Structure 1
Amino acid sequence: MSFTFFEGIPFAKPPTGERRFSKPEAFGSFEGGSLRAIAPGSACPQMIANAYKLGNEDCLFLNIYTPNATGSLAVMVFIHGGGYYQGASHFWDPSVMVAQGEVVVITFNYRIGALGFMSTGDDKLPGNYGLWDQKLAIEWVKDNIEDYGGDPDRITLFGQSSGAISVMFQMFSSANDNSLFQRALLQSGSALLSTNIVQDPKQLHQQVISSLGCKIDSELKKCLQSKSMEEIQVASWFNFVFMNSLVVVDNDFLYHDVLAILDAFTQQGDSAYTRELVGNFGSYDLFSGWNDQEGMFILGVLPLIDSSFNNVSEGFSEEMLFKALQYFPFTNQGFVSRSKSASFVNDLLMQYYANKHDNTMNNPTTAKKERLRRFIELLGDEVFILPTIQHLQLHSAISDKNTFAYEFKQLLNRPPDSLTWLRTGADHADEGLFVFGFRNKMPGFSYTYNEEEKELSDKMILHWTNFAKTGNPSPTDYMKFSHPETPSYTQLKTGSLEKLSCPFCEKEKVLSAITFALAHNREQNLAATMPDQIKSENKTEALYHDSLSIGKLTLSEPQAIRTLQVLLGVVVIVTVLCLVLIIILIHSRRTANRPSKRVIGKFQLEEKERLS
Structure 2
Amino acid sequence: MIRVVVLVLLTHPAFAAREPPQINLVNQGTIAGMYMTRFRTKRIAAYVGIPFAQPPIDFRRFTPPEVSDLPRWDGVRNATTYAPDCMQQDPMKKDEKDEAVGATVPRHDELFIKLLDTQLEEPRKKEFSEDCLYLNVYVPDGYKTDKFPTMVWFHGGSFVRGSPNYLNPFHLVWKYKVIFISVAYRLNIFGFFSTLDNEATGNYGILDQIAAMAWIKNNIESFGGDPENICIMGHEAGAVSVGIHLVAPYSVGAFQKAIAMSGNILSPNTVSTASKEVLTVDKTAIAFSCFRKPTFQLLDCLRRVPAQALLDIGGPLSEWGPIIDKEFSNISTSLFSDKPSRMFNEILSPVPFLTGFTNMEDALELQKEDNDEPGISQSQYDIMRKEIVLSDITVDNSSCFTNQHHIQDAVAFFYKPIPPTNNETILLKLFLEFYTDKVHGATTYQLAKYLSSHAPVYLYRFDLKPFSDIANEGIPDWVGVPHNFDLTYTFGLPHLALPEDFGKWDIRDKSISDVIMKMWTNFAWYSNPTNSGINVVWEPFEKEKPGFLIIDRKNFTMSTPETVNYKAFEFWTDFYPKVIEIGTKCCKDTYDDSGTDSFLTRRVINTLITLYFLLFLLS
TM-score in terms of structure 1 length: 0.73
Distance 1:472 1:325, change over 3 A: same
* 2:286 alignment partner in structure 1: 210
* Contact 2:159–2:187 (CA under 8 A) maintained in structure 1: yes
Counterparts of 1:499 and 1:156 in 2: how far apart (Å)? 24
* 1:588 alignment partner in structure 2: none
Residue 326 of structure 1 and its aligned partner are, at CA, apart by 7.1
1:316 corresponds to which of 364, 376, 380 = 376
Distance 1:6 1:194, change over 3 A: same
* 2:589 alignment partner in structure 1: none
Counterparts of 1:440 and 1:194 in 2: how far apart (Å)? 36
* 1:196 alignment partner in structure 2: 270
Residue 105 of structure 1 and its aligned partner are, at CA, apart by 0.3
2:610 corresponds to which of 528, 533, 548 = 528
Residue 168 of structure 1 and its aligned partner are, at CA, apart by 1.2
1:151 corresponds to which of 203, 209, 226 = 226
* Contact 1:124–1:217 (CA under 8 A) maintained in structure 2: no
| Matched letter for residue 402 of structure 1 | P
2:482 corresponds to which of 391, 408, 427 = 427
Residue 64 of structure 1 and its aligned partner are, at CA, apart by 0.5
Residue 227 of structure 1 and its aligned partner are, at CA, apart by 1.1
* Contact 2:360–2:481 (CA under 8 A) maintained in structure 1: yes
2:53 corresponds to which of 2, 9, 12 = 12
Equivalence map 1:257-336=2 (5 Å): 257-261=339-343, 274-275=345-346, 278=347, 280-282=348-350, 284-296=351-363, 298-299=365-366, 313=372, 314-317=374-377, 320-321=380-381, 324=384, 328=388, 331-332=391-392, 334-335=394-395
* 1:266 alignment partner in structure 2: none
1:57 paired to 2:130: yes
Distance 1:499 1:229, change over 3 A: closer
Counterparts of 2:404 and 2:261 in 1: how far apart (Å)? 29
SS of equivalent to 2:74: helix
Please give the root-mean-square deviation of Cα atoms over the aligned residues, in Å: 3.4
* Contact 2:541–2:548 (CA under 8 A) maintained in structure 1: no
1:116 paired to 2:178: no
Counterparts of 2:404 and 2:318 in 1: how far apart (Å)? 21
Counterparts of 1:248 and 1:392 in 2: how far apart (Å)? 22
* 2:181 alignment partner in structure 1: 106
Q: When the two structures are aligned, how many residues end up with a matched partner?
A: 498
Deviations 1:438-490 (A, max 9, x none): 2899xxxx996422121111101101111111111112595453746121121
Counterparts of 1:248 and 1:461 in 2: how far apart (Å)? 35
Residue 496 of structure 1 and its aligned partner are, at CA, apart by 2.8
* 2:35 alignment partner in structure 1: none
* 1:391 alignment partner in structure 2: 447
SS of equivalent to 2:129: coil
2:140 corresponds to which of 42, 45, 67 = 67
1:463 corresponds to which of 488, 504, 519 = 519
* Contact 1:294–1:381 (CA under 8 A) maintained in structure 2: no
| Matched letter for residue 226 of structure 1 | R
Equivalence map 1:336-415=2 (5 Å): 347-348=409-410, 350-355=412-417, 358-360=419-421, 363=422, 366-367=423-424, 369-397=425-453, 399=454, 401-412=455-466, 413=468
1:164 paired to 2:220: no
1:505 paired to 2:566: yes
* 1:221 alignment partner in structure 2: 299
| Matched letter for residue 301 of structure 2 | C
* 1:538 alignment partner in structure 2: none
SS of equivalent to 2:515: helix
Distance 1:320 1:205, change over 3 A: farther
| Matched letter for residue 33 of structure 1 | G
SS of equivalent to 1:405: strand
1:249 paired to 2:325: yes
Distance 1:348 1:482, change over 3 A: closer
| Matched letter for residue 429 of structure 1 | N
* Contact 1:281–1:395 (CA under 8 A) maintained in structure 2: no
**Using CA pairs below 8 Å that are at least 6 residues apart, which structure has the higher relative contact order?**
1
SS of equivalent to 1:196: coil
| Matched letter for residue 185 of structure 1 | I
2:258 corresponds to which of 181, 184, 195 = 184
* Contact 2:57–2:130 (CA under 8 A) maintained in structure 1: yes
Residue 120 of structure 1 and its aligned partner are, at CA, apart by 3.3
Counterparts of 2:53 and 2:386 in 1: how far apart (Å)? 40
Deviations 1:177-224 (A, max 9, x none): 32x210011111211235111122223453344222234322111121
Runs of 5+ consecutive residues of structure 1 not aligned to the other structure = 263-273, 301-308, 534-566, 573-612
Deviations 1:112-149 (A, max 9, x none): 11110112322233110000000011111110111111
SS of equivalent to 2:529: coil
Deviations 1:19-54 (A, max 9, x none): 000001126253223211112111111114593276
Residue 317 of structure 1 and its aligned partner are, at CA, apart by 4.3
* Contact 1:78–1:106 (CA under 8 A) maintained in structure 2: yes
Counterparts of 1:48 and 1:182 in 2: how far apart (Å)? 35
SS of equivalent to 2:353: strand
* Contact 2:459–2:541 (CA under 8 A) maintained in structure 1: no
* 1:232 alignment partner in structure 2: 310
Deviations 1:529-583 (A, max 9, x none): 57778xxxxxxxxxxxxxxxxxxxxxxxxxxxxxxxxx558xx9xxxxxxxxxxx
1:481 corresponds to which of 520, 534, 540 = 540
Counterparts of 1:112 and 1:422 in 2: how far apart (Å)? 34
Counterparts of 1:324 and 1:456 in 2: how far apart (Å)? 36
Counterparts of 2:262 and 2:86 in 1: how far apart (Å)? 23
SS of equivalent to 1:38: coil
Percent identical among aligned pairs is 22
Distance 1:326 1:114, change over 3 A: farther
1:35 paired to 2:77: yes
Residue 166 of structure 1 and its aligned partner are, at CA, apart by 0.2
Counterparts of 1:530 and 1:421 in 2: how far apart (Å)? 40
Deviations 1:337-363 (A, max 9, x none): 69979866764554322346x432xx3
Counterparts of 2:507 and 2:411 in 1: how far apart (Å)? 39
* Contact 1:212–1:231 (CA under 8 A) maintained in structure 2: no
Q: Which moved more, 1:128-137 or 1:39-48?
A: 39-48
